[in-house]
């Protein structure tokens, strides 16, 4: 991705010592503390960092699109050499329409739900002065440019009729209307599936070469930045702390924060048995905090007195890489935790077993089989990772197992060999206590009006036989086990950060020593360093209590780190089940192959991506034969679209549903 | 605007406590917790301040407060009794326009209109809030059941509510009052019944949104009963909506009761001071005798109270959603 860019005189975007603050309750609080970087014409520049570090504020400031309480306290922002801060509003509008455009995080919110797609794009052309009929033609042309399937029919559709990936293409098409020289992408693929994300990123890459626009890409996913950008800036607490060539920064980070971030991610095939993930202690300083010297000093493992007394210099590291740190030569010495949890042999006898589990939803008279004949056993102390695109039935499986949805007749759920009732509310106390859940969004999972103590105490009294003082003691015990301070117990969820909230949610699930905990994307709403702490916690709890996990995640790296076996779902069916090692080494189902190849890697290992075109089929109308044949790159006409594939056993613990011979699957696709 | 690092949101800033607490860091953490508790108090105080700084709220409270005082101690402000004729030099002055002796004039039998307006506050301030409260309680219960259980309960109750809502309020009011008589209790119950469907609808939609959240799923997973989930888990999260709905209903109840009284359905006792009754008994004098004062002043009293209550409701709603 590193097309060398001819240095031009004027940068597409130059941010110079930008200071910005938000006025909160009458007090200005510093958010950006001297951000400087510049993007050459045609260059792709990435900004990474945890949420709250000022990435998005920087992006919005570049086009002076800021909330009313923001005030720019110093510095310059030049778009194509023109000062954005000083320019009159009229000129700013021109800049926004023809020089620098923006693609937002959530395409659904970026579109007007009441207007047809065609009209919304045409409106952009009308603003640029095109006549009505001409604008319509240009709109259609712009949709073709972003490779939307069936562009002319998309023109007549409303935003809610398009999928997230298609909508993001439309938003990109709109951003390109004025042939901008700078394209600002703020987390453009965050809400999308890995497979869709890969396609959108391909599109951005292609448009970059055809339009030669410079790109400012904001993302918290380091893999996305690595595959997309020439240069990267690492932001922390409103300052760029390290900058350089993307490959170099990720391969040999020099600032302790960059090192911390990269070590927090489960990468390079890391497993829980290898080592715990690196966590960055403490929290991001709040906006407006006094940070007179190094911004990272409070969390830095190698900080010393010098760091506390003097502003760190910008240390050049050659080839345009630099870091703001006193001790760049010591970053090699930052300790990475070494010993992982002990690998243990897992029983063959499952704690929880699902046999022929199906779930059909009825909607307006039509049957929607969301889950079709799933067989799965989970052993004591085992983590089964569940992966698949959204809409593949992962959450339905979890909720049916837990008794939130009632399964169809014929399926069976057993716990320790005994069948359990379909509905959670009908289950005997022991079954209720045995199976608990950790949800994706801790804001929704915790009652906002309850204190942490009340949340935990209620679970303790419902899920154990402890009462009175014994229950109070147990509440404090589990709080400590989750690394929550006893003082947190009297707070409301709103007062806690995302990571602490998720700890409370985990504490609640573990209140009654459950046999199985279903984790539904427990870290997807969290920053990587917080994610690392939560994953370590889950791994340790499991090692101590031999609890089993059904771990749902869209992040293959996370699943690989934590799971002993991985189950792959597609349109409500389990298409593959394999031990984690085998899944990443051996022959795999074509769907698994495509899914894994879509993940942008922060390690920079180049993989040939197997395109997964089109949308996941609706479970209401599954394709005949193998459900995957419509998108399969190894499709055998006459077989796959007619006969449902049998489940074949590749090794004793590795099964998949595919017609292809195993030898064929091991080979690279033709 | 999600992408702008949340400058004004409540969850950022000091009220967040430290991440990844490790036992050694407890001291540091305590400080964070202390700030958090202080912050919580501060937010509450700020809400109160915000409310008191809203001119509409202050005006509403002043007007409503005035009428509440009138209802409790009418003798404090009224120069005459509710049924005491105004006498000048020993003789009753009836049908007299506003003057120094009777600020709002006198009615056909010589009662002081000003005093009757003051005394009349009590009747409406008993009936309207009581009716609104009953409607709110019933509506909350129904709304919780419908919004939480959905299914057939929602289906059946929903139809009944739709049916009730499709009948004009006044028509239904007239029918019940004619059938059951027009004592104060019947009026309260009638208005409460009339308002219950509206409250139910509001509460139901709020409950339905709450019931989608994972904390409700989590409660089911630990085997909680339906009533527990509705009353302990969901109800505290929808009280804001209910308080605002109650205030709005008080305003409408004043209006409805006055309307029923105006139609002559509220009381057959002319001596009891009541704004609606008084208007009903005197409004024909505007045309026949050009005596506007016995009816216009109680009408203004109703208007001022309704406006005051609506101002309070609006401000509460705004502060709640901010």
Q: Annotate B90-121 with DSSP letters as a single string.
A: TEE--SPPS-SSSTT-B-TT-BBHHHHHHHHH
pLDDT in tens, B155-207: 999 999 999 888 888 888 888 888 888 788 888 999 999 999 999 999 999 99
CB contact under 8 A, B6 and A52: yes
Average pLDDT value for residue range A526-554: 91
Determine the residue of chain A that is closest to B13 in CA distance: A286
- Pairing mode of beta strands A647-651, A654-657: antiparallel
Radius of gyration, alpha carbons of chain A: 26
Please list every residue in chain B whose beta carbon sits closer than 8 Å to the beta carbon of residue A440. Answer: 214
Q: Is B151 on the interface with A (CB under 8 A)?
A: no
Which chain A residue has its CA at the smallest distance from B15's CA?
Answer: A495
Interface test with A, best of B5, B8, B216, B239 (most A CBs within 10 A): B5
Average of per-residue pLDDT across B94-107 = 83
- Confidence check: pLDDT of A199 > 80: yes
- Lowest average pLDDT, out of A72-81, A170-179, A599-608, B279-288, goes to A599-608
pLDDT at residue A503 above 80?
yes
Q: Please indicate if any CB of chain A lies within 8 Å of the CB of B44.
A: no
Q: d(Cα A108, Cα A191) in Å, to the nearest integer? A: 10
- Record: contact A488-B33, CB cut-off 8 A: yes
Give the distance from residue A592's alpha carbon to the nearest chain B alpha carbon, in angstroms.
30
Nearest CB among A286, A463, A499 relative to B222 is that of: A463
pLDDT digits (tens, 9 = 90+) for B27-41: 344 444 555 566 667
Q: Using CB atoms, pick whichever of A109, A287, A491 lies closest to residue B13.
A: A287
Distance from CA of B138 to the nearest CA of A (A): 23
Task: For residue range B52-100, list pLDDT tens digits in order.
Answer: 888 999 999 999 999 999 999 988 888 888 888 888 887 888 788 888 8
Please state, rounded to an integer, the average pLDDT across all residues of chain B.
83
The pLDDT of residue A208 is above 60? yes
Which of B10, B22, B39 has its CB closest to that of A483?
A: B22
Instruction: Provide the strand spans (E) within A199-326.
Output: 214-218, 231-236, 239-245, 314-316, 322-324
Contacts of residue A501, defined as CB under 8 A and 6 or more positions apart, other chains included, come to: A442, A443, A445, A446, A493
Task: Give the pLDDT band (50/70/90) at residue B19.
Answer: very low
What is residue A413's predicted lDDT score, i.e. its pLDDT? 93
Distance separating alpha carbons of residues A8 and A14, to the nearest angstrom: 13
Say if residue B16's pLDDT is above 70. Answer: no
Query: With contacts defined as CB-CB under 8 Å, which chain A residues touch B12?
Result: 52, 286-287
Average pLDDT of A174-187? 91
CB spacing of A283 vs B18 below 8 angstroms: yes
Q: Is A90 exposed, middle or buried (0-12, 13-18, 19+ CB in 10 A)?
A: exposed
pLDDT of residue B62: 95
Please tell me which of the candidates B3, B13, B215 has its beta carbon nearest to residue A104: B3
Under the banding of pLDDT at 50, 70 and 90, the label for residue A217 is very high
Percentage of chain B beyond pLDDT 90 is 44
**How many Å lie between the alpha carbon of B122 and the closest alpha carbon of chain A?**
37
pLDDT classification of B26: cutoffs 50, 70, 90: very low
pLDDT class of B268 with cuts at 50, 70, 90: low
Cβ–Cβ gap A499/B19 under 8 Å: yes
pLDDT computed for residue B35 by the predictor: 55
Q: Do B218 and A437 touch (CB under 8 A)?
A: yes
Collapsing DSSP to helix, strand or coil, B269 comes out as: coil
Chain B residue with minimal CA distance to A480?
B23
- Residue B147, token pair as written in the block: 């919004």
Q: Where are the beta strands (DSSP E) in A170-258?
A: 182-186, 214-218, 231-236, 239-245
Residue B246 has pLDDT above 90, yes or no: yes
In sequence order, the 6+-apart residues with CB closer than 8 A to the CB of B162 are none
Global model pTM greater than 0.80: yes
CB-based contact, B231 to chain A, within 8 Å = no
Q: Kindly state the average pLDDT of the residues A638-653.
A: 89
Quick check: B6 pLDDT over 60? Answer: no
pLDDT score at B40: 64
Q: Averaging pLDDT over each range in A317-321, A330-334, A345-349, A516-520, which range is the top one?
A: A516-520
Mutation target among B26, B218, B229 for the A interface, most CBs of A within 10 A: B218
Does B14 have pLDDT greater than 70?
no
Say yes or no: B27 contacts chain A, CB-CB below 8 A: no
Q: Would the CB atoms of B15 and A494 count as touching at under 8 Å?
A: yes
Residue B138 has pLDDT above 70, yes or no: yes
CB contact under 8 A, B8 and A287: no
Of B21, B40, B221, the CB nearest to A402: B221
Supply the ipTM of this predicted assembly. Answer: 0.85
pLDDT at B21: 39
Can you give the pLDDT at residue A448? 92
pLDDT at position A507 is 94
Residues B307-321, mean pLDDT to the nearest whole number: 88
Contact indicator for A597, A589 with CB cutoff of 8 Å: no
- pLDDT for A529 equals 85
Task: For residue B17, give the nearest of A29, A458, A491 by CB distance.
Answer: A491
Instruction: Examine the pLDDT at A358 and tell me if it is beyond 90.
Output: yes
Chain Cα centroid distance, residue B252: 8
Picking from A431, A481, A485 by the largest number of B CB atoms within 10 A of its own CB, the best residue to mutate is: A485
Tokens 């006549």 correspond to: A131
Which pLDDT value is given to residue B27? 39
Residues of A in contact with B15 (CB under 8 A): 494-495
Q: Which residue of B has its CA nearest to A506?
A: B218
> Taking 80 as the threshold, does the pLDDT of residue B229 lie above it?
yes
Cβ atoms A230, A44 nearer than 8 A: yes
């Amino acid at each position: 991705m590193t097309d060398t860019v001819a240095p031009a005189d004027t940068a597409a975007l130059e941010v110079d010592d930008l200071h910005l603050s938000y006025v909160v309750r009458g007090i200005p609080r510093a958010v950006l503390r001297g951000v400087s970087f510049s993007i050459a014409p045609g260059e792709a520049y990435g900004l990474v960092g945890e949420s709250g570090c000022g990435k998005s504020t920087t992006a919005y400031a570049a086009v002076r699109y800021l909330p009313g309480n923001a005030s720019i306290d110093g510095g310059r922002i030049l778009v194509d050499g023109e000062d954005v801060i000083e320019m009159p509003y009229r000129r700013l509008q021109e800049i926004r329409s023809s020089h620098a455009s923006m693609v937002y995080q959530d395409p659904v919110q970026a579109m007007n739900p009441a207007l047809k797609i065609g009209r919304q794009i045409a409106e952009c052309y009308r603003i640029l002065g095109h006549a009505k009929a001409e604008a319509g033609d240009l709109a259609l042309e712009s949709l073709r440019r972003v490779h939307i399937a069936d562009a002319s029919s998309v023109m007549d559709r409303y935003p809610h009729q398009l999928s997230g990936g298609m909508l993001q293409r439309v938003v990109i098409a709109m951003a390109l209307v004025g042939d901008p020289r700078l394209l600002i992408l703020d987390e453009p693929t965050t809400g999308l599936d890995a497979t869709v994300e890969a396609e959108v990123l391909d599109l951005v890459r292609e448009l970059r070469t055809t339009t030669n626009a410079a790109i400012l890409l904001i993302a918290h996913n380091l893999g996305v930045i690595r595959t997309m950008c020439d240069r990267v800036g690492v932001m922390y607490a409103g300052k760029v702390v390290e900058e350089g060539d993307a490959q170099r920064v990720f391969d040999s980070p020099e600032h302790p924060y960059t090192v911390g971030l990269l070590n927090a991610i489960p990468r390079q095939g890391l497993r829980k048995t290898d080592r715990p993930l690196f966590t960055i202690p403490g929290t991001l300083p709040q906006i407006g905090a006094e940070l007179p010297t190094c911004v990272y000093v409070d969390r830095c493992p190698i900080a010393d007195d010098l760091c506390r007394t003097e502003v760190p210099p910008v240390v050049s590291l050659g080839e345009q890489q630099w870091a703001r740190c006193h001790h760049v030569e010591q970053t090699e010495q930052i300790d990475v935790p070494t010993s992982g949890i002990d690998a243990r042999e897992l029983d063959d006898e499952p704690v929880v077993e699902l046999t022929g589990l199906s779930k059909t939803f009825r909607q307006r008279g039509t049957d929607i089989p969301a889950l079709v004949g799933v067989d799965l056993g989970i052993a004591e102390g085992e983590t089964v990772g569940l992966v698949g695109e959204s809409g593949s039935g992962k959450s339905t499986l979890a909720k049916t197992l837990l008794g939130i949805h009632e399964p169809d007749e014929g399926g069976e759920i057993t716990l320790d060999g005994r069948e359990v009732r379909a509905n959670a509310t009908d289950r005997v106390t022991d079954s209720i206590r045995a199976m608990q859940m950790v949800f994706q969004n801790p804001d929704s999972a915790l009652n906002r009006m309850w204190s942490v103590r009340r949340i935990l105490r209620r679970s303790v009294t419902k899920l154990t036989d402890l009462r009175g003082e014994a229950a109070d003691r147990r509440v404090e015990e589990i709080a400590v086990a989750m690394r929550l301070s006893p003082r947190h117990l009297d707070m409301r969820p709103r007062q806690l950060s995302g990571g602490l909230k998720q700890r409370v949610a985990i504490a609640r699930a573990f209140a009654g020593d459950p046999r199985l905990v279903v984790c539904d994307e427990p870290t997807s709403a969290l920053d990587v360093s917080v994610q690392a702490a939560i994953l370590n916690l889950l791994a340790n709890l499991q090692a101590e209590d031999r609890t089993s996990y059904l771990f749902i995640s869209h992040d293959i790296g996370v699943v690989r780190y934590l799971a002993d076996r991985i189950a792959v779902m597609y349109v409500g069916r389990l298409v593959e089940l394999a031990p984690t090692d085998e899944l990443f080494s051996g022959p795999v189902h074509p769907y698994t192959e495509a899914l894994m190849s879509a993940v942008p890697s922060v390690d920079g290992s180049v993989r040939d991506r197997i395109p997964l075109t089109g949308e996941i089929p609706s479970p209401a109308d599954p394709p005949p034969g193998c459900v995957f044949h419509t998108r399969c790159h190894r499709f055998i006409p006459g077989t796959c679209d007619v006969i449902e594939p049998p489940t074949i056993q590749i090794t004793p613990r590795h099964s998949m549903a595919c017609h292809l011979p195993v030898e064929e699957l091991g080979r690279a696709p033709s | 605007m999600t992408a702008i690092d949340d400058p004004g949101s409540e969850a950022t800033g000091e009220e967040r406590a430290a991440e990844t607490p490790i036992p050694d860091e407890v001291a540091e953490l305590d400080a964070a917790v202390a700030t958090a508790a202080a912050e919580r108090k501060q937010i509450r105080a700020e809400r109160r301040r915000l409310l008191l700084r809203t001119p509409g709220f202050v005006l509403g409270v002043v007007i409503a407060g005035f009428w509440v005082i009138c209802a409790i101690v009418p003798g404090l402000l009224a120069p005459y009794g509710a049924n005491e004729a105004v006498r000048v030099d020993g003789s009753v002055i009836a049908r007299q326009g506003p003057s120094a002796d009777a600020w709002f004039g006198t009615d056909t039998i010589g009662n002081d209109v000003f005093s009757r307006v003051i005394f009349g506050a009590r009747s409406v301030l008993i009936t309207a809030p009581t009716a609104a409260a009953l409607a709110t309680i019933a509506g909350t219960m129904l709304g919780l059941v419908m919004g939480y259980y959905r299914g057939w309960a929602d289906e059946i109750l929903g139809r009944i509510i739709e049916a009730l809502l499709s009948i004009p309020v006044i028509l239904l009011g007239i029918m019940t009052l004619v059938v059951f008589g027009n004592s104060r209790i019947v009026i309260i119950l009638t208005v409460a019944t009339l308002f219950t469907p509206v409250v139910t609808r509001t509460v139901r939609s709020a409950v339905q949104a709450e019931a989608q959240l994972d904390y409700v799923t989590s409660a089911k997973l630990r085997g909680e009963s339906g009533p527990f989930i509705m009353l302990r888990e969901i109800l505290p999260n929808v009280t804001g909506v209910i308080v605002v709905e109650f205030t709005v209903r008080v305003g409408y109840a004043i209006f409805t009761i006055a309307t029923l009284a105006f139609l002559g359905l509220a009381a057959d006792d002319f001596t009891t001071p009541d704004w609606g009754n008084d208007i009903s008994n005197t409004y024909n004098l505007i045309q026949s005798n050009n005596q506007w004062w016995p009816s216009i002043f109680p009408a203004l009293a109703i208007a001022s109270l309704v406006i005051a209550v609506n101002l309070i409701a609006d401000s509460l709603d705004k502060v709640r959603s901010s």
